[in-house]
Each structure stands twice: as C-alpha cells, then as structure tokens.
C-alpha cells in the first residue's frame, strides 16, 4: 500500500483522460533504449524515475503528468542518444558494396559465425554497420580507435553496451560479458578493428568462443595485412582460422555513384556524374565525393542555378582535395 501511494505521488497523478503521446519522441526513446542495450532499471535511474513509471510509459499506460515525463525523456535523449546511429539516416544507400557487406553481417548473425569485412576508407563500411544496427537492434556495435585498442578498453566498451558494471580485472569482465551474451543469439561487430592489439583481438575471439554468438571484424586493408603478413602473423592463426564469411570491397561502380548522387541531387547530367565517378575512385572514395556534391548543391541553391561541372570543380577547390585537377 505504501509503495502504491509513493508511486502515485511520483507520477503526479492527473485526472484519467486520454493521453497524447509525442509520437516522434516516443519512437526515438524506444529506439535509443533498444540500441543502447539499457535495462529498464538503468533507464529509470537515468531519468530519476521509478521502473514502474518507465514501464507505464513504454506500454503507453502512463498515469501521471505525461508532459513533465516527456520533458525528462527529451533531456535524457539529448544527453545519451548515439549521434552515430540516428533514428533515421536519409543518406544511406544500398550500393553494391553495401549489399556485399550486409550479406556478411547477415550470415554471421544467423549462423553465429565469425566474419571479416575489409575495405578502403570512405567506401561506406561504417554506414552499413550503423544501418544494420538500426534495423537489427540486438546487434552490438563498438568502434575501436587510437585510444580504444587494448584489452581493457575494448572490453569496457562492450560491457558498456551491455549495461555491465565494469571491474578492475579484465578476466572477470570478459567472463561477465561472455556469460551475458551466452545463448543471446546476438551479433557483435567491431569496427575499425585494425587499431586493436593482438591481445584485444584475442579477447573478442574468446567472447566468440565462449558465448557462441556471431562476430564481425571490420576495418581497412591493414587489418587483413596484420593477420596474414609480417613476422607476427602467426599470432593471429587462432583468430584467422575461425573466420568464415569474408569480403574485401575494392571496386567503385558507376551505378553505385549514380545511386548515391540521385539520393542527394536527382537528375544530374552525365558530365557531372562522370566527374563525380572520377572523384569516387580517388582517396576518400564515396565519403569525399558526397562532401563535394553537397557543397556544390549548396552553391547551386545559393545562386539559384542548376548544378554544373564547373560548380563541382569550384567546390573541389574549396575542399582542397588531395587529387590535382585535370
């Protein structure tokens, strides 16, 4: 009885009338909860509310001051939303390269296999990983970098996605992660894997072995090279022997350039498409091609004239691309 009274006080109970949920905010909240892996109790703590109140909101049966609660939710999302995985990504295009990568992710997800994705910077690898995570919310996606490359750092990052309290011992933390994921049928993706030390690779491999989940290593050419070449390649034998599905994206196709361009600026003429294709085959690939096109698009809108090759070349000069003009 006391607990029920306390909950009513917390909810600031208002008369029983139909509540108008902010649909977009609600969907963003559910998406964030799913992709972050946060438990209901963890969400309640972050909101400063009870788990019961959060449950009511999730099931659209909130009994208190909904406007006040949604302000708390909005504040939480401003702090916690992962900007790398927005609720919607209008820039994502399913290119042939994206389809190849998606196939590896799907196979590893469904068969709990270990796979590898290799490709140059700018080809769109990370965009595909984010989109897969967006559509398959149980996926765990972590990104290595120059500061997150050792065992403790990568384990901490994975544990954070699982809501596991970190600890000083890497061995204990690894076992907690494996126990949490065992039987979960989830997929673990490690992006920018070329940054990882051999020991960190081994930690991810151990999670794969113990938890029986799918794992995908994704990175640039250096990732494959360090596994198969050099005087320390033998260290990766245990890892490489477990790799099943693999893809090495190398080719830039004209049809992919057109798909991406049409998504940003439909109906661009053949001359402009040819210029953009040339840029997509240079260092930076699709990423820098898109930056160039978007800048030229802004210029054309500002001047209220159609986008031309001359405008693309002017934008190219402003961006100071590595490749010299013809």
Q: Radius of gyration (Cα) for the chain, nearest Å? A: 24
Ranked by mean pLDDT, which of 34-43, 231-240, 255-264 comes out on top? 255-264
What's residue 236's pLDDT? 74
Question: Could you tell me the pTM of the whole model?
Answer: 0.76
Listing from the earlier edge strand, what are the strands of the sheet with 140-143? 140-143, 187-191, 214-219, 114-118, 243-248
What's residue 230's pLDDT? 61
Does 15 have pLDDT greater than 50?
A: no
What's residue 109's pLDDT? 96
The mean pLDDT of 262-285, rounded to a whole number, is 93
What's residue 260's pLDDT? 95
CA-CA distance, 195 to 155, in Å (whole number)? 14
Confidence bin at 237 (pLDDT 50/70/90): confident
Looking at 138-152, 225-239, 242-256, which range is the least confident one?
225-239
What's residue 234's pLDDT? 67
Does 326 have pLDDT greater than 50?
A: no
What's residue 223's pLDDT? 76
What's residue 14's pLDDT? 46
Q: Please state the domain extents for the chain.
A: 2-80, 96-248, 254-319
The mean pLDDT of 192-197, rounded to a whole number, is 92
CATH superfamily name and code, 96-248: P-loop containing nucleotide triphosphate hydrolases (3.40.50.300)
DSSP, collapsed to helix, strand or coil, labels residue 50 as coil
**Span 94-141, pLDDT tens digits:** 999 999 999 999 999 999 999 999 999 999 999 999 999 988 988 999
The mean pLDDT of 83-104, rounded to a whole number, is 86
% of the chain residues with pLDDT over 90: 59
What's residue 242's pLDDT? 83
Does 1 have pLDDT greater than 90?
A: no
Does 321 have pLDDT greater than 60?
A: no
What's residue 232's pLDDT? 66
Residue 124 is given by DSSP the state S
Query: What does CATH list as the number for 2-80?
Result: 1.10.260.40
What's residue 83's pLDDT? 66
CB-CB contact of 97 with 124 (8 Å): yes
What's residue 324's pLDDT? 47
Burial of 216 (0-12, 13-18, 19+ CB in 10 A): buried
The mean pLDDT of 269-291, rounded to a whole number, is 93
**Span 172-185, pLDDT tens digits:** 999 999 999 999 99
Mean pLDDT of the chain: 86
Does 226 have pLDDT greater than 50?
A: yes
What's residue 33's pLDDT? 85
CA angle 257, 258, 260 (to 5 degrees): 65
CB-CB contact of 194 with 236 (8 Å): no
Residue predicted with more confidence, 240 or 102: 102
Q: What secondary structure, in 3-state letters, does the chain show?
A: CHHHHHHHHHHCCCCCCCCCCCHHHHHHHHHHHHHHCCCHHHHHHHHCCCHHHHHHHHCCCCCCCHHHHHHHHHHHHHHHCCCCCCCCCCCCCCCHHHHHHHHHHHHHHHHCCEEEEECCCCCCHHHHHHHHHHHCCCCEEEECCCCCCCHHHHHHHHHHHHCCCCCCCHHHHHHHHHHHHCCCCCEEEEECHHHCCHHHHHHHHHHHHHHCCEEEEEECHHHHHHHHCCCCHHHHHHHHCCEEEEEECCCCCHHHHHHHHHHHCCCCCHHHHHHHHHHHCCCCHHHHHHHHHHHHHHHHHHHCCCCCHHHHHHHHHHHCCCCCCC
What residues does 189 pair with on adjacent strands? 141, 216
Burial of 304 (0-12, 13-18, 19+ CB in 10 A): exposed
CB-CB contact of 208 with 186 (8 Å): no
């Amino acid at each position: 009885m006391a607990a029920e009274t306390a909950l009513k006080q917390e909810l600031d109970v208002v008369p029983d009338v139909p509540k108008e949920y902010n649909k977009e905010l609600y969907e963003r909240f559910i998406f964030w909860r799913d992709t972050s892996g946060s438990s209901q109790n963890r969400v309640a703590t972050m909101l400063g509310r009870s788990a019961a109140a959060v449950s009511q909101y999730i099931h659209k049966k909130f009994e208190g001051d909904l406007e006040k609660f949604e302000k708390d939710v909005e504040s939480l999302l401003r702090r916690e939303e992962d900007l790398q995985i927005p609720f919607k990504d209008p820039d994502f295009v399913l290119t042939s390269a994206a389809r190849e990568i998606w196939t590896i992710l799907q196979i590893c997800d469904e068969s709990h296999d270990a796979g590898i994705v290799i490709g140059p910077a700018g080809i769109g690898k990370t965009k595909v990983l984010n989109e897969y995570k967006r559509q398959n919310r149980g996926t765990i996606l972590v990104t290595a970098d120059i500061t997150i490359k050792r065992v403790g750092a990568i384990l901490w990052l994975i544990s954070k996605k699982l809501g596991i309290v970190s600890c000083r011992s890497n061995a204990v933390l690894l076992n907690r992660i494996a126990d949490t994921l065992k039987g979960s049928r989830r997929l673990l993706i490690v992006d920018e894997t070329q940054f990882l030390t051999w020991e960190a690779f081994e930690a991810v491999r151990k999670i794969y072995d113990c938890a029986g989940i799918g794992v995908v290593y994704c990175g640039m050419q250096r990732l494959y090279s360090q596994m198969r070449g050099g005087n320390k390649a033998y260290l990766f034998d245990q890892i490489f022997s477990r790799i099943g599905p693999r893809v090495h994206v190398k080719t830039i196709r004209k049809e992919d350039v057109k798909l991406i361009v049409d998504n940003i600026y439909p109906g661009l003429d053949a001359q402009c498409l040819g210029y953009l294709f040339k840029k997509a085959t240079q260092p930076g690939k699709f990423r820098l091609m898109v930056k160039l096109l978007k800048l030229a698009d802004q210029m054309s809108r500002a001047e209220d004239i159609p986008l031309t090759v001359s405008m693309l070349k002017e934008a190219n000069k402003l961006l100071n691309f590595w490749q010299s003009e013809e």
